Structure 1
Amino acid sequence: MNMPDGEGLLLAEKAFNALKAMLTGGQLRAGQFVSMPDLARMVDLPLAPVREAVKRAESAGLLNVLPKRGVAVMEATPDLIREYFDLRLIFDQEGARRLVRGGHGERLAALRDVHVRLVEAARNGITPSLQREAMAVDWSLHSTLSDALGNATVREIYAQNRDRISVMQHSRPLLPDRIVPAMEEHLAIIDGILGGDEQVAAEAVRRHFAQTLRWWGIFG
């Protein structure tokens, strides 16, 4: 018996949200293969809405459908890593410039305090909870920079790009010895913005980008 269109759409949306949460949360990891029946069991929903969710996730670049076999989660290849971080770099640089031009650097004052506290805590010992907080703070800065563009289209693209990066990051969890350098690179960005210098802020964004790629093993 076919489900009503409204119910079908509702279940497809529920399936997509559940699927995306598993992808970005690391329950489904980069490069992993899973059959459609197994995927339906994992999200605890019928196969039909799960198929619709998979199509949507494929369009978002989060996985690939393998006909008559199942789905393969996107892999963190060097080309994709550079592509997605290139996009984030573009948004971050312009966002930093606009925060300076608009005199809105004060938005980052509280975030700066959080970074300083994290650096001090990390130097005294890194715990799993500190690692999780560092990841959340990392995304807070990048989201603040992209939001400074005030552009709905950019916001949508950024959200999709963030999901892809989140999936890739679970293939290589943040190393403890990367936390302090990353937070210090962030502080250089924030200080450039608070200091009202576009060039300093943009250059700090580029340095952070280069170091992030190095952490992924990509040079040049």
Structure 2
Amino acid sequence: MNAVDSADQCAPALRPLSSLGERRNYRDQVAHALRAALVTGQLRPGELYSAPALAACFGVSATPVREAMLDLVREGLVETVSNKGFRVTAVTERQLDEYTHIRSLIEIPTVTGLARTAGAGELAALRLQAQRIVAAAKDRDLIGYIEADRAFHLGLLELAGNRHLVEVVGDLRKRARLYGLNVLAERGLLVASAQEHLELLDALLAHDEELVTAVMTRHLGHVRGLWARPQSD
């Protein structure tokens, strides 16, 4: 398979680094942008991408791009192709099912438990992030949606006080990605999924464990049922 042409590699997520905001260094900035492009489908599974061509999109040298790509290799998101570049790895239906199953085993009971232990102030602090998710969904800002969604869910899990649990879920989210977000937005279903974050906070503040479990189960079901199989109907 041939590498994607340089002009075609410059997806919206791969804009010059000067417009990405303040981050720690070029390597981290590039890795962040590449993950966003992977999640939104702007970098396509099975396609080859070269570091020099991607570097041109970012307006940097090829070195931080290669370093960032190697970070993504370690995360299982891309693989190296000798003398050609990097290929985006495909995620099978079985893998997506397994990732979602593991997330449900971890997140549903953990978040349900927060109905008993989380303070009102801690939960209220997450409302702004939930509102950002809804705003991004309404604007069809998929990268903004992804960033706010990740911050909300991992921030919520942090309230349980288990750092390793947060790391595991963060890794699962990266590996599963959010396939089909564009399709979900086009169907008008993204806003409804976004609003579940506010519904979840309300249930937690009401200490309603049964409702928290129901909302979390429904929300994770949307992740697998709608995002993983966007072309099924």
TM > 0.5 fold call = yes
Partner of 2:124: 109
8 Å CA contact 1:92, 1:145 repeated in 2 = no
How far, CA to CA, are the matches of 1:148 and 1:181 in structure 2? Answer: 25
Instruction: Give the superposition deviation at 1:100.
Output: 1.6
Partner of 1:98, secondary structure, is helix
Distance 1:145 1:82, change over 3 A: farther
Amino acid at match of 2:113: R
Partner of 1:182, secondary structure, is helix
Unmatched tracts of structure 2, length 5 or more: 1-23
Alignment of 1:75-154 (within 5 A): 75-109=90-124, 111-112=126-127, 115=130, 126-128=138-140, 134-154=145-165
Partner of 1:22: 33
Instruction: Give the superposition deviation at 1:196.
Output: 1.2
How far, CA to CA, are the matches of 1:117 and 1:17 in structure 2? Answer: 23
Moved more, 37-46 or 94-103: 37-46
Partner of 2:20: none
8 Å CA contact 2:31, 2:71 repeated in 1 = no
How far, CA to CA, are the matches of 2:214 and 2:106 in structure 1? Answer: 13
Instruction: Give the superposition deviation at 1:175.
Output: 0.4
Distance 1:137 1:50, change over 3 A: closer
How far, CA to CA, are the matches of 2:91 and 2:225 in structure 1? Answer: 14
Distance 1:38 1:127, change over 3 A: closer
Amino acid at match of 1:206: T
Identity of aligned residues (%): 25
Instruction: Give the superposition deviation at 1:57.
Output: 2.0
Larger Rg computed on CA atoms: 1
Distance 1:50 1:208, change over 3 A: closer
8 Å CA contact 1:182, 1:208 repeated in 2 = yes
Unmatched tracts of structure 1, length 5 or more: 1-12
Partner of 1:196, secondary structure, is coil
Instruction: Give the superposition deviation at 1:205.
Output: 0.5
Partner of 1:181: 192
TM-score by length of 2: 0.65
Higher helix share: 1
How far, CA to CA, are the matches of 2:55 and 2:145 in structure 1? Answer: 33
RMSD: 3.7
How far, CA to CA, are the matches of 1:36 and 1:215 in structure 2? Answer: 32
Instruction: Give the superposition deviation at 1:68.
Output: 3.3
Distance 1:210 1:38, change over 3 A: same
Instruction: Give the superposition deviation at 1:171.
Output: 5.7
Partner of 1:169, secondary structure, is coil
TM-score by length of 1: 0.68
* Count of matched residue positions in the alignment of Structure 1 and Structure 2: 200
Structure with more contact order per residue of length (Cα contacts < 8 Å, sep ≥ 6)? 1
8 Å CA contact 1:103, 1:196 repeated in 2 = no
How far, CA to CA, are the matches of 2:132 and 2:28 in structure 1? Answer: 33
Instruction: Give the superposition deviation at 1:116.
Output: 6.9
Distance 1:118 1:84, change over 3 A: closer
Instruction: Give the superposition deviation at 1:146.
Output: 1.8
8 Å CA contact 1:134, 1:179 repeated in 2 = no
Moved more, 149-158 or 106-115: 106-115
Amino acid at match of 2:139: T
8 Å CA contact 1:100, 1:194 repeated in 2 = yes
Partner of 1:70: 85
